[in-house]
Amino acid sequence: MKINLLVQFLALIDELRGRDETTAEFERLLALYGFDYYWLNQAPKPVETLSGLILAGRWPQDWLETYLQKRYMQVDPTVRYLGHAQTGFRWRDTLSAFRTSPHRKRMERMMVDARQNGLEDGYIFPVHGRRGLVGSLSLGGKPVELESVELGIFDSIARRLYWKLIHIADPDMAARLSSIVDVELTRREMEALSLLAEGMTSPDIGRVLGISSHTVDWYMNGIQEKLGARNRHHAVAIAFRLGLVS
């Protein structure tokens, strides 16, 4: 393990001046760790705007064009998994979470294309703000084995690097992303959200609360709207990050 390199970078990052010096020092760290490619980007959005979301990166020639042309953003298992991930994870581990997905074949095709372009394996580290997932750091190339303690430090590096570069690129956006979210949920919504966080379905929650599953769904729609969540998994993830559930 090269933990000292990671710790040194964390200690140094605030002293680095500007985007170029920061990314140059980070790329030096990645080279020492054996990662050939990386990209730091804002939270995933429709594929048409992907290139505009990247804050920094280096990837195989033609890969971004291939990714966009084949609309892999729509089926990318690493991006889908990222939506509810709390910490960093390995690319190759994501396919197992989508065994029954109707898009499984396209997911596999994307992973094959990635390997053929030199992206044999890698890791993604989510970056969270007060409003949920705000970005991520991807590291890839030849397979690199990271120990759990290294994964934890890379999680910290992803957060520090993201916020440093977003502040440099767009201070106003950085302020919006980090602003406090004032969420007011009713007692019933809090009860339903807590049960949802325990893995219960609408019928399960309805039985516990003594209400119909349709009423539960109505509560869930309200919760998602208040939290700005895309779906229930996203609502739970945001609730954990805001401290609404534990």
User: pTM for the full model?
Assistant: 0.73
Contact 2, 32 (CB under 8 A): yes
User: What three-state secondary structure class fits 213?
Assistant: helix
User: CATH classification of 187-242 is 1.10.3720.10, yes or no?
Assistant: no
Contact 106, 211 (CB under 8 A): no
Contact 10, 153 (CB under 8 A): yes
The CATH number that domain 3-177 falls under is 3.30.450.80
pLDDT of residue 48: 42
The tokens 């298992």 sit on which residue? 77
Burial 4-20 (b: 16+ CB within 10 A, else e): ebbeebeeebeebeeee
Alpha-carbon span 164 to 183, nearest angstrom: 27
pLDDT of residue 218: 93
Q: Which of 118, 158, 125 is nearest to 141 (CA)?
A: 118
Q: Which two tokens stand for residue 176?
A: 């919006």
Alpha-carbon span 173 to 134, nearest angstrom: 11
Indicate the domain borders of the chain.
3-177, 187-242
Q: What is the pLDDT along the chain (246 residues), one digit of tens a residue?
A: 589 999 999 999 999 999 999 999 999 999 999 999 999 998 765 434 566 688 999 999 999 889 989 989 889 999 889 877 889 999 999 999 999 989 999 999 999 999 999 999 999 999 987 656 789 999 999 999 999 999 999 999 999 999 999 999 888 777 766 666 567 788 788 889 989 988 899 999 998 888 999 999 999 999 998 888 899 999 998 887 776 775
For residues 166, 168, 171 and 176, what is the CA-based torsion angle, rounded to 10 degrees?
Answer: 10
